[in-house]
A = this chain, B = another copy of it.
Amino acid sequence: MAQGFTVWLTGLPASGKSAIATHLEESLLERGLDVERLDEGEIRTEWLPTLGFDKGEGDGATRLVGHVCHLLSRNGVIAVAATVSPSQEIRNELRSLIGRFVEVFVNRPVEDCEKLDETGNYERARKGELKGFTGVDAAYEAPVNPEIVLETDKEEVEQCTNKVLRTLELLDWIPKVAGSDYNEEEEAKITKRLKDLGYI
């Protein structure tokens, strides 16, 4: 069995996590790998429409996604999670649980997120219809030491996805693809980051 792992995309609502997760899933599938995408938004809609956004329910959503990633990862599947997951403590807890875990901070200024939001959730939160909504009346704890930072206000989805793929290749968690088109400067940055973290 191949060794599974989890790519954990965390960031404010509407920061661009889902788009990157979808593109990353497609890229990994194209490489013939077993992958499942866990999107908090889809899970809330399709599995648990009653789940709210306050602290307790938000933490529950994070743990739920994390535990499912754990079950998949330990059965050889690559789990790609897209979840706000605002709590550093819970992200750390899930990292310990899962082991092979790459934390990806999807970083976009909250004003941009709010402008780009298509769910109407920021607006509902501003009106007080949603309580404890991250980015409006609850804090997002930016990752202290993530493996990857993606600036989605400056980088395209394709470029973000490639950074993640290249990181996974350098970690030797996925096979290297010959002739991939990576930017040299970025490549050096990723390598330095992984060295700093003691991975390579």
Contacts and interface: CB of A to CB of B under 8 A. Distances in A.
Interface of A: 1, 34, 36, 43, 46-51, 56-57, 60, 63-64, 67-68, 71-72, 75-77
- Per assembly, the copies of the chain total 2
Contact of A68 (B34, B49, B68, B77): B68
A60 B64 contact: no
A18 to B, nearest CB: 17
A104 B44 CA distance: 28
Nearest to A35: B75
Nearest to A65: B47
A68 B77 CA distance: 13
B75 A34 contact: yes
Contacts of A47: 60, 63-64, 67
Given A75-B36, A76-B75, A56 B67 contact: no
B63 A46 contact: yes
A82 to B, nearest CB: 15
A54 to B, nearest CB: 9
Contact of A51 (B60, B71, B75): B60
9 contacts: A1-B34, A34-B75, A46-B67, A47-B64, A50-B56, A50-B57, A71-B72, A75-B76, A75-B77
A46 B93 CA distance: 12
A174 B60 CA distance: 35
A36 B73 CA distance: 12
A183 to B, nearest CB: 33
A57 B63 CA distance: 17
